[in-house]
A = this chain, B = another copy of it.
Amino acid sequence: MGTIEECGEKGVKALIVISAGFKETGHEGAELEKKLVEAAQKYGMRIQGPNCLGAINTHVPFDLSFASTLPKKGSIGFVTQSGALGTAILDWIIAEEIGFGSIISLGNKADLDEVDFIEAMAEDPDIKVILLYLESIERGRKFLEVASEVVKKKPIMVVKGGTSSAGAKAAGSHTGALVGSFLAYQKAFDKAGVILSESMEDLFNYAVAFTEQSLPEDEGIAIVTNAGGPGILSTDLIEKLGLKMATLSDETRQYLKENLPAAAATGNPVDILGDALPDRYAVALEAALKDDNVHSVLVLLTPQAMTDSLTTAKHIVEISKQYKNKPVITVFMGGDWVGEAAEYLKDKGVPCYNFPEKGVKTLDALYQYARHLKLPELEPPEYPDIDKDKVAAIFKAVKDDGRKVLFPHEASQVAKAYGVPAPGSALATTADEAVKYADEMGYPVVMKIVSPDIMHKTDIGGVELNLTNANMVRIAFEEIMRKSKKAQPLAKIYGITVDQMVPKGKEMIIGMSRDPQFGPMVMFGLGGIYVNFLKDVAFRLAPMNEREAQEMMEETKSYTLLKGVRGEAPSDIDAIREAILRVGHLVWDFPELKDLDINPIFVYGEGKGVSALDVKITLS
């Protein structure tokens, strides 16, 4: 601590604490770390680390790390929660001659964390793309907010450690961090437009393409190849990843037919045959780039007897320069035979990989980012009819009553206060009240005894179904009361609920789950009693905009059911989407809402709405 004080006295503004022995070692270390931060704060100093491996910037330049050599100057920024991984990557990129702008080792994140460094790199004109290796994100919602803004300017790509339960445990013991559920991370990255990868190597392959090439303006990939096999493997992966092969225009096909040998394939992939010389690559690449249906090109080369890979590379560089708005990615397969050409391409800013899957996955990353940038910016819709105060009052009453679980009629009222239609449901304490409620909501109704002490309501005569008029309601009230009191004289009885009976619709579920870092997520999917084993559900972080709610529905197989299968009429998709959005507001507005489950929510035919039949709510 003495050193910290001295630094403070000297007017130092920021510290990089490399030493270990803090939070990662346990309770005592955590205490020490707290003191470290307090000491620094006294002087307004910010801290990177402790337990980190420093920082490198090739533009200033400075090297505040263990590294022996600086990497090549470039525009990739890398923030890593594992210092050792940073060192390994550093050594690897030096060997691969990948250009780097800045590397940051986060360490224990006692003060500065990934959010701070993303913000800093967003402002740094030398950085074009931000890469992250993260094990935990403590400020989940702040990350979401900052990342969402930054990706509008620069792509952010991440590898997340601790995605499995064993991995999360290892990550926890490693940095003392609470890792949280990977599902929430995935949804947060999706929402923000952050690209998630499983492999550090892929991440750097993508980064190279992002720094050197433009984004594709539309779908439509053309492949130019001198070999069938690699073209087929690329096509397979393109389809698997949901990318689109371009349909070449008639003019292009005609041009290719006239300028390539008869045996060449002029569809897509364009197979220019094994004996293709550089000029044939030039013809095919230029034709593809000229085609309005083509927005990116993958050039594949295998070394065959006549192949002149270096001249081919030169042609590719020359031509691709003239079509700057269409990214060109190359895959030169082989070893020494293509080595010089591959170096030449990379040196001139055309990404070159040695296997087709790396090229296709890189295109996929470019497309993911390009698509995200094109999405219209939508805010969660506002619903002026939402009655937040009413829900607050219900929750307060439940807590005041010493309960955490809402009674069905209370839960139903919460749903209705947020504009989610639900059958009429009210608690009556007298027969007159019961009749009044039943008259209001309409017949038939169901009546049930409400008591936390009575478990098997039906068995003791505490439930009456299908009551069709006021007289039946009056009689049912007296009968239920009499039987309940007789069966359990000591039970605390709150009254009797009167529930409107509604027609059956398609059974869906809307639920929620709350993540410690990222807050509430809404779940939607197939409802009914088999929800737990069919697991046809999708999640989104709340609150959602209309697009997110729609995508969430389309992610489930049950969406087909809602659209109408086997000649059935379509269901009221607008109404269920709105219900999802309204639940999104509810779970976002009330952090004390621990569990919410609407199962089933009935969805009726088009224009006929939905009805939240069974609402369960638990408070924390």
Residues of A bordering B, CB below 8 Å: 20, 25, 66, 80-85, 87-89, 91-96, 133, 135, 159, 161-167, 170-171, 173-175, 198-201, 226-233, 235-240, 245, 263, 265, 267, 269, 271, 274, 302-305, 333-339, 354-355, 357, 529-530, 532-536, 557-558, 560-561, 565-566
12 chain-A/chain-B pairs, Cβ below 8 angstroms? A20-B263, A82-B227, A87-B302, A91-B337, A95-B335, A135-B228, A164-B237, A166-B245, A170-B228, A174-B231, A174-B232, A201-B354
For this chain, the copies found in one complex come to 2
A167–B232 CB distance below 8 A: yes
Decide: A166 near B92, CB < 8 A? Known: A80-B229, A84-B226, A560-B533. no
**What B residues does A565 contact at CB under 8 A?**
530, 532-533
Other A-B pairs, 8, CB within 8 Å; known A84-B226, A95-B336, A165-B239? A80-B229, A81-B229, A135-B228, A162-B232, A162-B236, A164-B240, A166-B239, A534-B557
Cα(A269)–Cα(B174), bound, Å: 10
Residue from B91, B271, B558, B560 within 8 A of A336 (CB atoms): B91
Q: Chain A contact residues: over half helix, strand or loop, or mixed?
A: helix
A302 to B133, CA, bound (A): 15
If the complex has contacts A164-B240, A233-B161, A236-B164, are A174 and B271 also in contact, measured as CB distance less than 8 A?
yes
Complex contacts, A80 vs chain B, CB 8 Å: 229
Cβ-closest chain B residue relative to A560: B533
Whether the pair A82, B230 counts as a contact (CB closer than 8 A) is yes
Chain B residue with the shortest CB-CB distance to A225: B84
CB-CB under 8 A from A334, the residues of chain B are: 87-88, 91-92, 95
Q: Are A84 and B167 within 8 A (Cβ)?
A: no
Q: A226 — nearest CB in chain B belongs to which residue?
A: B84
Q: Select which of B89, B228, B338, B535 is within 8 A of A174 by beta carbon.
A: B228
Q: Which residues from B are CB-within-8-Å of A236?
A: 161-164, 166-167
The answer to whether B85 touches A302 (Cβ under 8 A) is yes
**In the docked arrangement, what's the CA distance between A232 and B175, Å?**
11
Cα A499 to Cα B75 in complex, Å, equals: 76
**Which B residues touch A170, using CB under 8 A?**
228, 231-232, 235, 265, 267, 269
Contact of A227 among B84, B93, B333 (CB under 8 A): B84
Closest residue of B by beta carbon distance from A245: B166
User: Which residues of chain B come closer than 8 Å to A239, judged between CB atoms?
Assistant: 164-167
A227 to B357, CA, bound (A): 28
CA of A96 to CA of B333 in the docked complex: distance in angstroms? Answer: 13
Residue contact B232 to A94, C-beta cutoff 8 Å: no
Shortest C-beta distance, A273 to chain B (Å), equals: 9
Residues of B with C-beta under 8 A to A529:
566
- Say how far A309's CB is from chain B's closest CB, in angstroms: 10
The residue among A165, A233, A560 with the most chain B CB atoms within 10 A of its own CB is A233
- Complex CA gap A354/B200 in Å reads 11
Q: How far is the CB of A68 from chain B (nearest CB, A)?
A: 8
Complex Cα distance, B535 from A557, in Å, reads: 8
Q: A398 to nearest B CB, angstroms?
A: 27
